[in-house]
Amino acid sequence: MNRLNQLYAWLMLLPALLMLLAFTYLPTVTTLWHSVFYPARGSQPAQFAGLDNYRMLIDDPVFWQALSNNLWYALGTVPLSIALALAMALWVNGRIGGRTALRLAYFTPTMLPMIAVANIWLFFYTPEIGLFNRLLECVGLPGINWLGDPDWALPSLMLMTVWKEAGFFMIFYLAALQALSRDLYQAAALEGASALYTFRRLTLPLLMPTTLFVLVNAVLNAFKLVDHLFILTKGGPNNASNLLLYYIYENAFSFFDSSYAATLTVILLALLVTLALLQFRLIERRIHYR
């Protein structure tokens, strides 16, 4: 009976496992394989390169810049969009007029395609005719060359990303908030707990599973969402806003260097796995699943 159960379980898992094998694990292995070969040119077969591609990577200043940009990008967008998402969720969870309209308004940026949004923001950011500089002008501040100044290009990308992502994460928080038990809040009210105390000791801990989920997703997105770069900066000026995945795309499709692109992908993959493990380790201890 037990054995039959086992077989049954494996059979149930098989379809998903096959899909994962075909579309996740197999590509991972081929990527590793490609990263130790030189790129094939024309009809000649690719030659074994050993660790040459990795040596090239260590010597490549653009790679290091893209990596550090990406870390800053994650550091800038992840906490901010999560905090904003939580604030918005708390706000639209309360009993206020026009609640549905407000929820929809917050969620709209998520529904729009990234490329379309970036095309609009490109004009927001344009120095002479853009919305942002007009606003600055109204309060008497000098304009900024948002995407053309290396100090501002990356923060400008971050700003748009936070705007785009916060609404999405808000939905998860909102769902979690609505599932929280009223009893606990009544008990807190009876005890005379302040709003802040209730939030800190009751709401926040109960939302921890959602926070982990959102955090993992936000960190992943910080590394895999680069659609807007194609429109806004193309990684420029002078790589000031280049991110790892965009650099991989450039190598694979602009430079036709699939080997180096594979090498960069291996690094990105290793980075993401490490980050995911770290997050699970660190946060799991502070989560109370019910």
Partner 1 sequence: MLNRRNTRLALGLTTLLASAAQAQTALTLYYPVSVGGPLTQVVDGMIADFERQNPEIDVNAIYAGNYNDARVKALAALQSGQPAQLSVMFSIDVHELRDLDAIVPFDEVVETAAERQWLQSFYPALMENGAVDGTTWGIPFQRSTIVMYYNKEAFREAGLDPEQPPKSWDELAEMGQKLVKKDADGQVERWGAMIPSTGYPYWMFGALAKQNGAVLMNSAGNETYFNQPEMVEALSYWRDLSRKYHVMPEGTIEWGTLRQNFLEQKTAIMWHSTGNLTAVKNNAKFDFGVAMLPAHKNFGSPTGGGNFYLFKKASPEERKAALQLVQFMTSPEQAAKWSIATGYMGVSPAAYDTAALKQYVQSFPPAAVARDQLKYATAELATHQSGRVRKLLDDAIQAVLNGQAEPQAALDTAQKQAQRILSRY
Q: Which residues bind partner 1 (CB under 8 A)?
A: 41-43, 62, 122-123, 126-129, 137, 140, 142-143, 145, 147-150, 231, 233-234, 236-240, 250, 253-257
* Nearest CB to partner 1, comparing residues 93 and 133: 133
Q: How far is the CB of 234 from partner 1 (least distance, A)?
A: 7
Q: What is the largest CA-CA distance in the chain?
A: 79
Take residue 225 and report the two structure tokens written for it: 């969402």
Angstrom distance (rounded) from CA 198 to CA 89:
16
* Nearest CB to partner 1, comparing residues 43 and 194: 43
Token pair 């980050």 is found at 275
Q: Which residues pair with 48 in a beta bridge?
A: 37
Q: How far is the CB of 143 from partner 1 (least distance, A)?
A: 7
* Nearest CB to partner 1, comparing residues 147 and 176: 147
* Nearest CB to partner 1, comparing residues 6 and 238: 238
Q: How far is the CB of 220 from partner 1 (least distance, A)?
A: 25
Token pair 């000098």 is found at 142
* Nearest CB to partner 1, comparing residues 62 and 90: 62
Q: How far is the CB of 270 from partner 1 (least distance, A)?
A: 24
Q: What are the two backbone dihedrals, phi and then psi, of residue 239, each rounded to the nearest 5 degrees?
A: 70, 10
Angstrom distance (rounded) from CA 191 to CA 211:
27
Take residue 240 and report the two structure tokens written for it: 């000031």
Angstrom distance (rounded) from CA 229 to CA 119:
10
Q: How far is the CB of 42 from partner 1 (least distance, A)?
A: 4
